[in-house]
Every structure is written in structure tokens, then in C-alpha cells.
Amino acid sequence: MTAMWHRVLALIVKEFLAIWRDKKSRVVVIVPPLLQLVVFGYAATFEVSHVTTAVYNEDQGLPARQLVARFEGSPTFDIVARLTHHAEIAGMIDPKRASLVIHIGQTFSRDLASDNGAKVQLIVDGRQSNTALIILGYANRIVADFNTSWLRDHGGTPPPASLVVRSWFNPNLESKWFIVPGIVALLTMVVTIVVTSLTVAREREVGTFEQLLVTPLRPFEILIGKSIPPLVIGLAEGSVIIAVTVFWFGVPLRGHLSLLYVALFFYLLAAIGMGLMLSSLARTQQQAILGAFLFVVPAVILSGFATPISNMPPAIQDLTLVNPMRYFLIIVRGTFLQNLPPPLVFANLWPMMVIAAVTLTGAAWLFRHRLG
Amino acid sequence: MSAESSRASALRRLKGLIRKETLQILRDPSSISIAFVLPAILLLLFGYGVSLDARHVPVALVVENPTSDTASFTASLSNSDYFTPLLMPDRQAANEAVIAGEAKAIIVLRSDFARRLFSPTGAAIQVIVNGTDANTASIISGYIEGAWQKWLNQYALDHGRTVDLPVSVEQRVWFNAEVRSRNFLVPGLIAIIMTLIGTLLTAMVVAREWERGTWEALMVTPVRIGEILLGKVIPYFVLGMGGMALSTLMAVFLFGVPLRGSLAVLLAISALYMLTALGMGLLISSVARSQFVAGQVSIIVAFLPAFILSGFIFDINSMPVVLQWLTHLIPARYFVSSLQTLFLAGDVWPIVLANGAMLCLMAAIFLTLTRIRTRKSLE
């Protein structure tokens, strides 16, 4: 027994050295993830601000100017141009000089005064459909505010029922609170998959893996030796990212840190299992990196990291069930924002355990059965 | 040796190099798979899997005192394509459904709902959205607002009243009238795919030659550095344009994305981007010289920025100013913008020319730097 641990320990030390000795790969494991965390934390936002807006106001009346003033006063909209001809609209939208054109017709003030209902036309650049929807949402809210104060000042009947909307867990709907905890899952996955996918493939390419197989080390021991270094790297990197999420980005951590770490542990095991399987299947490092890619990209896309799983067609939703990132994202976001209760954490934990068990066993089997 | 015969032998050397590269690509299934299988998989995944348009959103509905008025509101939710209302006995059950992720929002109609409908204060419809996913939350509250507006109009009509809306909004979404997120994601995806082929694949292949020493071996042959680089660029250029053609065909015929610009402009701008991506890949490999590092570096400086900082999913204008500057260094930014415009809007020359010029500049910089680095390393 002690002999076995001695052997495994030696392998672990060797694996660490293989990553650590090369200065370039040392830098690659440490610097980029942190850089990405900060860049993505700021860049990956679905919020829209500084909307370039052009105003085409044909009406000289006071209400029209009041409506325009509401847009001017909003921090969301930057008025970049005032148009005088209908033909100018295309010249603003087509070359992206403006994302929104507000068109107020000649009869606006007259229609408003005569209780006929006035119209305002909003023209938005649909090339980015999500941005377009959000811009329209903001603009509609400004018009709705205008309506409310107009009714109040001019004695109209209020609607019979009104909506009172509140948002739980994230009252200001900051997308940073959604994206940044997700990056914990994203970066730990990318780093562990890349590190593990190369370990076996590199040795196979150089021919040292066959040597490893003829040593007294059993596949199971090789598995442990190959798994522990990426696990340690993943846990360390995960800890740093969690700390940055809390202290730099100020995302509230409302659940138990210990639950988060238990989940991270099994998530990393699942990722390592995947990486080792890919690595054992690959003949060359190039194939291993490409394989890692072919796994990571769909895994990220089908995880709910950027777009919700519930928007996907049913067949693809079923496919996400084998994706460890899907479960970890629920746990990490739930733990940060919602204080997810332990039973719900466990409901998303056991699938990751199953994936880890299957992939790690598969990798150990492949060590022996894929030679040459 | 006459100028003519030296040119002829240069051409012959180049042919030999291209042949060697082509054979290498054809022999390694992973290169072919990255050029043709990966684009197909990515396009299918994105086209079908990634959608920012929520449909059939599960909403927990709590009706404390069911009446005909509440029924009309509930019916308007059920009839909408946007919602799947889940009737809950009380607030507690609804809260649990939201925590467990079974419902994304709660709508509560209080027991005094019907009584207060035409009172001076009006009835309140309480809406709670799960803000964890902020984008989805604001989209859902927009949908609920729409459903409420529709119901109000219908309800007022049924009761012989009209709802006064002083100003109504008439919205026009240009280039993408149905606001399909697929229409902007699929063209942007072509940029991602070409980045993978041009940068990641090339960087890995050339790094392998450095690792194995075959690059140095090439250098001691009569082949000139420019020819070696050209011999690398041409086969991968062809491979990348093949991937691009496949992606365009899938975008137009499978996903029904309109192609409103001209094919010639699309090809020209893609060719420019392909050169930029190849230049980046060659430069990375000449710096990294090991497959592990080359792979990592290309993912970090090419793939991930093309994904996040190019305007592919996230709007550049909404990023902090420093990051907006940074995006100007990302070649994919110019390509994604061109693709979205060429597919959805048409040949808008101010955009196409400005982006094309930037891509030319970047391709020239990357290729020149690669040449300089390669020459220096031959000591």
C-alpha cells in the first residue's frame, strides 16, 4: 500500500514538474485566466448604454419637444444627430452612425391635444437583435413615463390595472452578477481540460507513455497521478476567481462557500475525466487540443453560460444533460445569488459525480487499450 | 542563372512546398475535421441551440381569489406563445418553484384584484422575476408588459370603455423585422470558424514543425523564407475559404439568413480576414514554438476575443471605454461587423471599406512581423 502511494506521489511530482518547469506553459496556466476574468467580467454584458440616437422631429409643438427632452435626459441615449429629411434616416442607420431613430410626425402635438392618440415611430438597427430588443424596451419605457405624466397633468383615466414589477436576487438586473459567477465555471473548465488533454497525448507523442505503462504503476495509479495536478491547479484557480468575483466585482455570495467547493471538486473531476479520455484517444498533441476544442466549445454553448437552456429546442436540451458545466453553473449561480438550498445543490451534484465516475473509469481503461 | 530560370525554380519550390502542406492536411484527419466538421457542428449548435429569444417561459401564477376577471387575465397569458403559466396554490409554492428554477417569474393576482379593477387606484398585478439571469429577466418582464397591455385593451373593450394611451409607439426593426437572434449570430459565427482555422490550426501546425525541428531543416534548403511562408499560407487559405463557403451555404439555405450584400464583396472581405487570421497564427507559432503554448495562446488572443470582444454576441458600444479601445486591436471585430452588415443590410460601403482597410493593415502587420521573426531566429 505504502509502495503504491510512493509510486503515485512520484508520478504527481513528475506531472507538476512537467507543467511547472516550462516557463511558457507556467505563464499560460496562470496569467491568461485572470486576464480573461477581468476582461470578460467587463465586456460580457447584455446591458445597453450610450445608444447612438438620431432625432427626426417634424413637429414644433411643446409636447414633441418634451418627449425628445426625455430621451435627451436619459443616460441610456446619446443624441448624435438631428434630422430634417426622411431620406436621412437610412444614412444614419445603414453605416451604424445611429442605432435608433426617433421619428415624430408633423401632427404629433395636434393629435395629442385632440385625444386621438399620437404616434411616435422608433426605427432601430436590427443587425444585433438582442440589442435592438433592449433598446426598444428602454425607449418604450420612456414613452410610457411620458404617457403617465401626460395623463396626470391632463386628467385622463388611469388603466384599470397596473403592473408592479420587482426582481429577486438581482434587484438592478446587473448582467455582471449573472456572467461573472459563470466565468468560474468557464475558466476552470478551460484550464483543466487543456492541461489534462495534453498530458497523455504529449507522452504518447514522445513515447514515454509506453514506458509509463511498463512500470509497476497500474492504470488506476496513473489515473490518480494524472488527475491530482490538474485538480490542484483547478481548485487554486477556482479559488482566485471566486475571490475576484466577490471582492473585485462585488457579486454577493449568499450561499455556503463549502457547498460551492464540494461542487467545484466534482465538477473538476468530471472535467479532468473528459480531458483524460480525450487525451488517451488522441495520437498527437494537435489532435488532443482539437479534441479539447471540439468538446469545450459545445460544452460552453450548451451550458446556459450565455443563453438559457430553456430557449433551446427539446432535442438539444436533452443533449445538455451530459454536460457537467450545465449543473455546475446552476450551483455556482445559485450559491452566489440565491442561497440555493442543499437539496437543490445535491440534485445538480450527483449528475456531475456520475459523469466524473464514467469518464475517469473510461480514461483508465483507455490507458491500456489504446496503444500505438 | 537568368532571371527567368530563377523565377521558374522559385515557382517549382513553392509548388513543392504547397504539395507537402496539402498532403499533410489531407493525411491528418484532425485538420480536415477542423475545416469542415467543426464549422458544420458549430453552425448547427449555434443555429439551433443558441437563442436569445425566450418562448414558452414557465411562469408561476398565483390567483388568490379566482373570478371571471382573473380568468380573462390568465387566459391571455395561456394564449400567448411566450408563456407557459403554472398555476400555484399560494405564494410559498411559487417561491419554491422559482428557487428550483422551475419557473422564471411569479405573477400574483391578489384577493382584492376584481374589486379594485375600476377603483380610482386601479388593481395591482404583482410581478416578480428571477433576476439571476438579468437579460432573460428583462426580456420576460417586457413580455409580461406586452401581455398586460393586450389584456388591458381587450378588457376595456369588453366592458365598453377605451384605454387612453396618449402616445403609442410604432416600432420598426430594420434588417431583421422578426428580431430573430439567429440572423445575427449565424453570420458572426463565420468569423469564429475562420479564426479557428486560420489562427488555431495554423499556429498548431507550424509550432509542431518547430518542435520537431523540420522548420529548421526547411530553412537550410534553397527555399527562401518568403516562399516557406507562402507555402504555408496558400493551403490553409484554401482550407479556410472552403470552411467559409460551407458556412455561408448553411447560413443561407439551412438557417434562412438573408444575404443582402453581394457575394463578391463577402468573398473579398473574407479573404482579407483569412489572411489576417493566418498571419496571426504564423506569428503565434513563431513566438511560441511549442504546440501546447501555441494552442493556449491562440485560444486566448484569437478565439476568445473573437467570441467576446468582437461584437459577435455582446454589444461593443455598451462596454467600458477602455475595452472599446481594446476591441480595435481585435481583427475579428472588423470582420464580424462586415458580416452582419453584408448579410442583413447589404453592401454598405462606408462600413465595408473602413473594415476592409483595417483588415488589410492588420494582415500586412502580422505577415511582416512573422517574416522578421522567422529571419531573426535563424542564427
Please tell me which residue of chain A has the smallest CA distance to B316. A43
CB within 8 Å: B167 and A67: yes
Half-sphere exposure of A164 (CA within 13 A, CB side): 9
Average of pLDDT values for B132-148?
Answer: 84
Please tell me which residue of chain B has the smallest CA distance to A342. B100
Q: Give the best residue of B113, B132, B299, B303 to mutate against chain A (max A CB count within 10 A).
A: B132
Q: Which helix (H) or strand (E) holds A51?
A: strand A51-57
For A51-154, CATH number out of 3.40.1710.10, 3.10.129.10, 3.30.750.24, 1.10.3720.10 equals 3.40.1710.10
- What is the rounded distance in angstroms from the CA atom of residue A130 to the CA atom of residue A307? 11
**Segment B32-77, tens digit of pLDDT:** 776 777 788 878 887 777 777 777 889 999 998 888 888 888 888 8
Per-residue cell: B41? 457542428
Q: Is B110 on the interface with A (CB under 8 A)?
A: no
> Structural domain boundaries of chain B?
14-50+180-376, 57-158
- What is the rounded distance in angstroms from the CA atom of residue B357 to the CA atom of residue B336? 14
pLDDT band at residue B379 using 50, 70 and 90 as cut-offs: very low
**Segment A217-245, tens digit of pLDDT:** 888 888 888 899 899 999 999 999 999 99
**Segment B153-196, tens digit of pLDDT:** 788 778 776 666 778 788 888 888 877 888 888 898 889 888 88
| pLDDT above 50: residue A131 | yes
Average of pLDDT values for A345-370?
Answer: 91
Percentage of chain B modeled with pLDDT above 90:
24
Q: Roughly what angle, to the nearest 10 degrees, separates helices A62-73 and A129-154?
A: 130
Instruction: Say whether A16 sits in a helix, a strand or coil.
Output: helix
- What is the rounded distance in angstroms from the CA atom of residue A188 to the CA atom of residue A237? 7
| pLDDT above 50: residue A34 | yes
- Check residue B34 and give its pLDDT: 65
Which of A3-17, A67-81, A271-285, B334-348 has the weakest average pLDDT?
Answer: A3-17
A275–chain B nearest CA distance, Å: 14
- What is the rounded distance in angstroms from the CA atom of residue A297 to the CA atom of residue B115? 54
Q: Which helix (H) or strand (E) holds B126?
A: strand B123-130
pLDDT band at residue A372 using 50, 70 and 90 as cut-offs: very low
What letter does residue B181 receive in the DSSP assignment? T
Q: Quick one: B258 exposed, middle or buried, by C-beta within 10 A (0-12, 13-18, 19+)?
A: middle
- What is the rounded distance in angstroms from the CA atom of residue A350 to the CA atom of residue B268? 51
| Beta strand pairing call for A161-168 and A51-57 | unpaired
ipTM comes to: 0.77
Average of pLDDT values for A86-92?
Answer: 90
Which of A126-135, A291-300, B33-42, B341-350 has the weakest average pLDDT?
Answer: B33-42
| pLDDT above 90: residue A336 | yes
CB within 8 Å: A162 and B125: yes
**Segment B255-308, tens digit of pLDDT:** 889 999 999 999 999 999 999 999 999 999 888 878 778 887 888 888 888 888
- What is the rounded distance in angstroms from the CA atom of residue A370 to the CA atom of residue A67? 71
Angle at A199 between CA A39 and CA B289, to 5 degrees: 65
> Structural domain boundaries of chain A?
17-44+174-369, 51-154
Contacts of B179 in chain A (CB under 8 A): 126, 129, 132-133
Q: Are A24 and B290 in contact (CB under 8 A)?
A: yes
Does residue B123 or residue A252 have the better pLDDT? A252
**Segment A46-65, tens digit of pLDDT:** 778 889 999 999 998 899 99
Does residue A368 or residue A190 have the better pLDDT? A190
CB within 8 Å: A161 and B166: no
Q: Give the best residue of B172, B200, B298 to mutate against chain A (max A CB count within 10 A).
A: B172
What is the side-by-side order of every strand in the sheet holding B83-88? Answer: A161-168, B123-130, B105-109, B57-63, B83-88
**Segment B6-31, tens digit of pLDDT:** 778 778 877 887 887 788 777 777 66
- Check residue B225 and give its pLDDT: 76
Per-residue cell: A316? 438539444
Question: What are the C-alpha distances in Å from A81 to residues A86, B219, B318?
Answer: 13, 58, 19
Q: Cell 512520484 belongs to which residue?
A: A10
**Segment A174-186, tens digit of pLDDT:** 888 988 999 899 9
From chain B residues 217-256, the ones with a CB under 8 A of any chain A CB are none
Q: Give the best residue of B109, B201, B317 to mutate against chain A (max A CB count within 10 A).
A: B317
- Check residue B162 and give its pLDDT: 66
pLDDT band at residue B376 using 50, 70 and 90 as cut-offs: low
The sign of the torsion formed by the CA atoms of B267, B271, B276, B282 equals positive
- Check residue A25 and give its pLDDT: 67
Percentage of chain B modeled with pLDDT above 70:
95
Superfamily of the domain at B57-158: abc type-2 transporter like domain (3.40.1710.10)
Of A244, A247, A250, A243, whose CA–CA distance to A176 is shortest?
A250
CB within 8 Å: A286 and B28: yes
pLDDT band at residue A282 using 50, 70 and 90 as cut-offs: confident
Pick from B26-40, B235-249, B330-344 the range whose average pLDDT is largest: B330-344
Beta strands in chain A (DSSP E): 51-57, 77-82, 100-104, 118-125, 161-168
From chain B residues 49-88, the ones with a CB under 8 A of any chain A CB are 49-58, 73
Q: Are B311 and B290 in contact (CB under 8 A)?
A: no
Does residue A339 or residue A160 have the better pLDDT? A339
Instruction: Say whether A337 sits in a helix, a strand or coil.
Output: helix
CA–centroid distance for B209 within its chain:
32
Contacts of A337 in chain B (CB under 8 A): 131-132
